[in-house]
Amino acid sequence: MSEPTNAELTEKPVASVSLEKEKVTSGRYSHHVFICGHIRPKGSERDCCTNNGSMDVLREMKTLVRQAGLKNVKIQKAGCLSICGKAITCVVYPEGVWYSLSGNTDELQKIISQHLQGGKPVRELFLEV
């Protein structure tokens, strides 16, 4: 069974996507958020998310999630997610939704309130992969 696309996720509430969410999230966390923290060597052909402020975004997302009281959400630094150069790359599981972030606090608040709390991915922040 293949993973749903970002477009399919916005057409249906996350709870109705055929992911058998009970099995996927039966562990400690309901969501696992990975934010790219890869550092490319100086002189690399491609830019990297850390040059665009991904570590600041990671720290802010952790703070905002904590302030929202979401103890069942894990925010974590990822290695290279291979889609860098334009913005900060972020992926949220179990849905597998990819986001392109500028580092704006409003973006992070939308992901927290709409996706992590409300179950509806934030379409305008999608990174098509």
Q: pLDDT, tens digit, for every residue of 94-115?
A: 999 999 999 999 999 999 999 9
Q: Is residue 103 part of a domain?
A: yes
pLDDT for 14 equals 42
Compute φ and ψ for 125, nearest 5 degrees. -105, 5
Q: Is residue 111 part of a domain?
A: yes
The closest alpha carbon to 97, from 123, 75, 72, belongs to 123
pLDDT for 89 equals 94
Which pTM value belongs to this model?
0.76
pLDDT for 114 equals 98
Helix (H, G, I), strand (E, B) or coil at 75: strand
The mean predicted confidence, pLDDT, of the chain is: 83
Q: Is residue 24 part of a domain?
A: no
Full residue range of the structural domain in which residue 69 is found: 49-129
The total of structural domains in the chain comes to 1
Helix (H, G, I), strand (E, B) or coil at 34: strand
Q: Is residue 65 part of a domain?
A: yes
pLDDT for 13 equals 43
The closest alpha carbon to 74, from 61, 84, 85, 56, belongs to 61
Residues of the chain with pLDDT under 50: 1, 12-26
